């Protein structure tokens, strides 16, 4: 099975992608962590990424996003499926994201859209914080470790991302609506889109996805 999973900030697609990867024996490619991981590698692509992501702190271009996905896909055994999380996030990334599947003889079967409302997205993201050292995420009021403000994994300080404010979230939602909604429309027209209500609890969302995946097979 080869799947793309997309959705606005805070929709929980990362968690769902991990659960799906485990259930269906897929490799989860998450763009943010793939970028960070490859930026730390001593390769020509790694050096280029380090320059853009860590030094200049700029957004990476479509070409580089494609290189990163291709590199990740190359490392996956041919008999394993992929769940691609967070790409393509705009129309100009579609061809190259799909080429990556094709290059390895894989076929994109479904695109999952985890939908939540704008107010839910703002609400969830404003409660989010993360470890400044290892990057692990936490939810305020939910994970008790936050009371101490120390990461249980590595002892780093837990902080809130500067742009995880209602205004920051709204700005990113605008970009999602402008750039990613057309991608979802494109897959809807191809009959590949699966829309999922992301406002239920994690297990119910997962159940919905699994049921829909089974039905369409």
- Contact residues: Zn ion, CB under 5 A: 131, 133-134, 136, 151, 153-154, 156
Dump the DSSP string for 48-115. HHIIIIIII--PPPHHHHHHHHHHHHHTS-TTSEEEEES---SGGGHHHHHHHHHHTT----EEEEEE
- Minimum gap (Å) between residue 131 Cβ and Zn ion: 3
Compare residues 150 and 210 and give the one whose CB is closer to Zn ion: 150
Q: How far is the CB of 143 from Zn ion (least distance, A)?
A: 12
CB closer to Zn ion out of 90 and 136: 136
Question: For 201, left (φ over 0), alpha (ψ -120 to 50), or beta?
Answer: beta
**CB closer to Zn ion out of 138 and 176:** 138
User: Rounded to an integer, what distance in angstroms lies between the CA atom of residue 157 and that of residue 150?
Assistant: 5
Residue closer to Zn ion (CB basis): 14 or 198: 14
152 versus 186: smaller Cβ distance to Zn ion = 152
Which residues have a Cβ under 8 Å from the Cβ of 88 and sit 6 or more positions away?
A: 4, 94, 96, 97, 183
**Shortest distance, position 43 Cβ to Zn ion, whole Å:** 26
Closest approach of Cβ 29 to Zn ion, in Å? 22
Residue 38 Cβ vs Zn ion, minimum distance, rounded to whole Å: 21
């Amino acid at each position: 099975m080869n799947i793309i999973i997309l959705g606005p900030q805070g929709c929980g697609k990362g968690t769902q992608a991990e659960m799906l990867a485990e259930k269906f024996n897929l490799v989860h490619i998450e763009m943010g962590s793939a970028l960070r991981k490859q930026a730390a590698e001593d390769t020509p692509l790694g050096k280029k990424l380090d320059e853009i992501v860590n030094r200049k702190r700029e957004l990476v271009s479509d070409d580089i996003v494609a290189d990163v996905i291709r590199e990740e896909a190359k490392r996956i055994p041919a008999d394993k499926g992929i769940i691609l999380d967070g790409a393509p996030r705009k129309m100009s990334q579609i061809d190259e994201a799909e080429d990556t599947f094709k290059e390895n003889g894989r076929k994109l079967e479904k695109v999952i859209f985890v939908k939540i409302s704008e107010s839910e997205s703002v609400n969830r993201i404003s409660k989010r914080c993360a470890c400044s050292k290892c990057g692990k995420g936490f939810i305020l009021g939910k994970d008790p470790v936050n009371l101490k403000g120390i990461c249980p994994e590595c002892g780093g300080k837990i902080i809130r991302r500067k742009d995880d404010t209602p205004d920051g979230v709204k700005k990113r939602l605008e970009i999602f609506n402008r750039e990613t909604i057309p991608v979802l429309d494109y897959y809807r027209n191809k009959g590949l889109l699966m829309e999922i209500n992301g406002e239920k609890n994690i297990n119910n969302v997962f159940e919905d996805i699994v049921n829909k995946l089974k039905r369409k097979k």
